[in-house]
Structure 1
Amino acid sequence: MSVSIQESDFDLAAELNTLRSGNSKVGAMVSFVGLVRDFNLNETVDSIYLEYYPGMTEKALNKIIAEATERWNLLNVRVIHRIGRLYASDQIVLVATTALHRGEAFAGCEFIIDYLKTAAPFWKKEETGEGSHWLETRETDVQRMEYWHSDKVRKSA
C-alpha cells in the first residue's frame, strides 16, 4: 500500500508492474487514471493548479486505503496524485488496486477515487481565458460518497 503526492508525471506501466509483482495470489488488478480536460462546464480550461496540505493529505489517503482494504480484502493499493500546474491531457491521478477477484478490485478502486473527489485535502484551481477560480465539490460526487456509506453497500461489502 503506498501513496505518493508529486509534481512529476508517472509511468503507468511501471506502476502497475510494481503493484502486482511478487504476489501470485493477485487475480485481478484495476486502475483508474484521471486526466486534465481542456474544458469544464462549457468553458475552455488553459491549465489547472493543484495544492495540498503536506502530512495531512497523506494521512487522509492512507486512512481511506485502510478502509477500502478492510471492506474489500484488497491485496495492494497504489495512489499517486499530482500537484502543481497541469495542462490538457496530463495525468492527474492514479488509483490502482489488486485483489483475489475482480469485484473486490473494482469496488476498492472506485471507492478510493470517489473519496479523492470529495474528501481528500486537495484544492484545484482552473485557469481560463476569463481568469481563474477554485473548484468546489460537485453534487454528483457527494452523492457517490453517500452511496458508499449507505446501508446497502455496507451490508454487501
Structure 2
Amino acid sequence: MKALILVDLQYDFLPGGTLAVPEGDQIISVANEWIPRFELVVATQDWHPANHQSFASQHAEKQVGDVIELRGLEQVLWPDHCVQGTPGAELHADLHADRITRVFHKGTDTFIDSYSGFFNNCHQHSTGLAEYLKTHAVDEVVIMGLATDYCVKYTALDAI
C-alpha cells in the first residue's frame, strides 16, 4: 500500500509564523489535492516543549542560527516555534485533516531535536511512524511538507 506523509504543515512554518518558509502556504492546496489519492494519510507535527533546547532563547548570548553541541550532537539554534498547545503548532485549518489517520509528534524531548518524522536526531527514540506504516503494510510513501532542507529531507532519508 502507498501512504502519504505530510510533514509539519503548521502555522509557524507558514508566512507570518516564527520560522516561516517563504510561500509555504502554497503547499496546503497541493496537499489537499494529493490527499484523496491515498488510502493512508499520516502527518507529522513539530511539538516542542516551551523550554526546548534548540531554541536560541534558551541560551544566553546565543542567536538564531548559531550552532552549539547538545547531548553530543551539533544543534542549530532556532527561533521559538511549534510550542506544544500554541496556535503556531497547529496544523493549518484549511488542510483536509479529516483524512489524516494519525498525527505523529516530534521534537518532544527537551534536549534532542527531531527533524525526521521517524526518529529524533540521535535515532534513539522512534515516533512510532515506521511501526504504524508496517502494521498497515505500507511499502511505498510519498512525502510532502515543510521544510525541504530539514524535516522533509530527514523524513525521506529515514523512510528508505
TM-score by length of 2: 0.29
Answer 1 or 2: which has greater helix percent. 1
Bigger Rg over Cα = 1
Answer 1 or 2: which has greater strand percent. 1
TM-score by length of 1: 0.29
